[in-house]
Structures are given as structure tokens and as C-alpha cells.
Amino acid sequence: MSLASYGKPASPAVVAVDALGPFAGVAVLVLLMHFVIGPAVGPYYAKILVDIAISIVLAVSLNVVNGFTGQFSIGHAAFMAVGGYTAAAITYFGTVKIWGGLPLVHADPQGWGLFVVGTVAGALVAGLFGLFVGLPSLRLRGDYLALVTLGFGEIVRVLLMQTGSIPDPKVIAEAPLYTLPLKLGGSLGFGGVPTYTNLFWAWLWAGLTLVIVYRLKASTHGRAFLSVREDEIAAEAMGIPTTSVKVRAFVLSAALAGIAGALFAHELGTTLNPKELGFQKSFEVVIMVVLGGMGSLSGAVLAAAVLTVLPEVLREFSEYRMIVYALILILVMLVRPQGLFGIHEVWELPVVRRLLGGRGPK
């Protein structure tokens, strides 16, 4: 795709466009979403668009592990929960500590700084947990990771269930900071989190995730990831530290899932609840990745969008949803094991390239 990669030395202008272009694209997308599309479609569809953005972050981040490095994680929701609870704790307790009183239920620009801090902290903590989980299991063969991530998801869920109920604002204001992480609402969930997530923030993080992961795929590091997936032994023989590569992919993936969790926690109409973030949620993300194609970002985006919209459209058939998902999963594996798009992006498929007049990238 890169303009600067065809032989001739690139002019600084081309390099700058190459480097900054995607970010400008994200900015345009975010502003469009926030100021044009959001007001035009109304709150119901705006919420679906936010859901789609969160699903995109989840699916694309899981794709780094399941798609690029060919490992298999099925505890993605746990990292989402870690990030979500971290961010929610920061915005909720932070608001009480800084401004006093109950956190406002609706978004207000005063707290946006705190929200950004919370999201970044959520990503960091989730990444740290990723390191903690990944180090022991990624030394072993792939399917142990599946097992350990699933077990880790359960541990996170059990521990969150054990936390105490959220104290009154007055108590929070006086309580020492280290006692607060033990009071995250337990099995009832973390209620009353301020609803900062809107189209702006959701699509900003979705856009950034896409740029980061897309660039990663084309970079040296990304090629190392892909080589582990293709043949671990050959990769090792070429001097790629496979365990370290796998752990890096896993930590990045966990951190991005943490961002998705932070967005989910601050969304209007969702409750941050240990039950919501169990392995059913993890499986949903796995299905998005498998369906879109393992390693294909545009595939993951498409699958995330479709699988988020579909339950809304087929509300009457919600009982059958998981059954249909399960059948799709089995059928895709039997008929097209690499997923719909495989490792390719949508615009790299022969059909699409022909439609574009044969000018598609190599």
C-alpha cells in the first residue's frame, strides 16, 4: 500500500503523507461519526455504532494473537474486564475524590481527561495481566494457551464476584486509595459509572487500533508474528525469538482488549458486570476473528460489524443465536478453515481487485 516503497527514493512530503495519512483518516472518520453521522441517525443507531466500534477493537486485537501468531486465546473477555474495571474505578472513584459527590451519570467534558487516563490505565493493567498469563503458557504449545486463558478468565470472574459493594461517596472521599480496588460491586456489577463513551471516543480508539495493528502487520515485527504462525520451528531457525514474539503479541492484544473494556464500561446502557464478561463473550470475539479470517483486519472489522448488528435485527430469534453461531463456526472450519478472507484483506481478494480495475496492490 505504501507510496514510498516503489524503488525511487521518496520525497519528504511522500514520507510525511505515508506516516501521518492514516491518522488524518482516523481524525476525519471520528469527526464525521461524531458531528455528522451520530446526529443524523439518532441515539438508537448511534449506540449500535458505538457497539460496533467496541467489537472492532476486540476482534482486531484478538486477531493479533489468534490470527497473526496462530496461538489460541479464549480469555479475551477477561482482559476486557480487567481494563474495564480499572478504567471504571479510576473515573468513578476519581470523580468522587476530585470533585466530590456522585459521579454524573451523563458525560460532561470536565471528566474527559479522567476518562482518557482511565482508558490508558486500563490498557496498561490489562497488558500487565497479559504478560502474567502469557509468560508461563506461551513457552508451551498453542493449546495450553487456550486452556490457561480460559482458566484465567474464570479466575478474574470469580475474583470480581468476591469484591465488596461500592461504598457511599462520603465513605469513598475519606477512604484510603488502596482499599478501593476491593470494592468493585461484586456480582451485582459496577453500577453508576459515568457514561463518557460516545461515538467520538469509541471510533477514535477503534481507528487508532486499526492503524496500529495494520501497520504492525506490514512491519518487521508483524512479519515475525506471521512467521511464528506459519512455521514455528523455521522461524526459530531464522533467529526469531518465538516465545518473546508470542508474549509481545499477547500483551499488545490484552492491552487493546483493555481499551475495549474501558469503552464498554463507560457506555450508556451497559453495566459492568462479571457475568457479562464471561467466556460467552470471549467466544463471541473468537467467532468474529474466525469468521472474518484469521489474520485479516478488514475481515475482522466486517465480521465484528455484522455480528454486532445481526442480534439487533434478529431479536426474535435470540434464543437460537448461539446455536447458529456454533453451527457457523463448525461449518466454516469444515468448508473454509482459513476463515472467509483468510489472511488477506478485502481489497486483496481477486474479485475485489477486478472490480477496482486491476489496480489493486500486490
Total Cβ atoms within 10 A of residue 214: 17
Residue 329 binds another protein (CB under 8 A):
yes
Residue 192 binds another protein (CB under 8 A):
no
Q: Are 253 and 69 in contact (CB under 8 A)?
A: no
Residues contacting 15, CB < 8 A, separation 6+: 4
Residue 158 binds another protein (CB under 8 A):
yes
Q: What x/- string results for residues 286 through 305 when contact with another protein is judged by CB under 8 A?
A: x---x---------------
Residue 20 binds another protein (CB under 8 A):
no
Our CB check for another protein shows the closer of 171 and 323 to be 323
Our CB check for another protein shows the closer of 215 and 275 to be 275
CA 19 to chain centre: 23
Residue 29 binds another protein (CB under 8 A):
no
Residue 238 binds another protein (CB under 8 A):
no
Least distance (Å) between residue 71 CB and another protein = 8
Q: Are 173 and 87 in contact (CB under 8 A)?
A: no
Residue 327 binds another protein (CB under 8 A):
yes
Residues contacting 207, CB < 8 A, separation 6+: 25, 26, 29, 30
Residue 203 binds another protein (CB under 8 A):
no
Residue 162 binds another protein (CB under 8 A):
yes
Residue 351 binds another protein (CB under 8 A):
no
Out of 177, 233, 313, 351, which residue is the one contacting another protein (CB under 8 A)?
233
One-letter amino acid for residue 162 of the chain = Q
> For another protein, which stretch binds (CB under 8 A), given 14-22, 100-108, 143-151, 170-178?
143-151
C-alpha cell at 161: 464476584
Q: How far is it, in rounded angstroms, from Cα 182 to Cα 317?
A: 39
> For another protein, which stretch binds (CB under 8 A), given 110-118, 149-157, 165-173, 175-183?
149-157
| DSSP category for residue 340 | S
Residue 152 binds another protein (CB under 8 A):
yes
Residue 322 binds another protein (CB under 8 A):
yes
Total Cβ atoms within 10 A of residue 280: 11
Give the Å distances, CA to CA, from 292 to 57, 67, 110, 158, 319: 14, 10, 39, 31, 23
Q: How far is it, in rounded angstroms, from Cα 113 to Cα 104?
A: 15
Instruction: Return residues touching another protein (CB under 8 A).
Output: 66, 70, 72, 74, 136-137, 139-140, 142-144, 146-148, 150-152, 154-155, 158-159, 161-162, 233, 237, 275, 278-280, 283, 286, 290, 319, 322-323, 325-327, 329-330, 333-334, 337
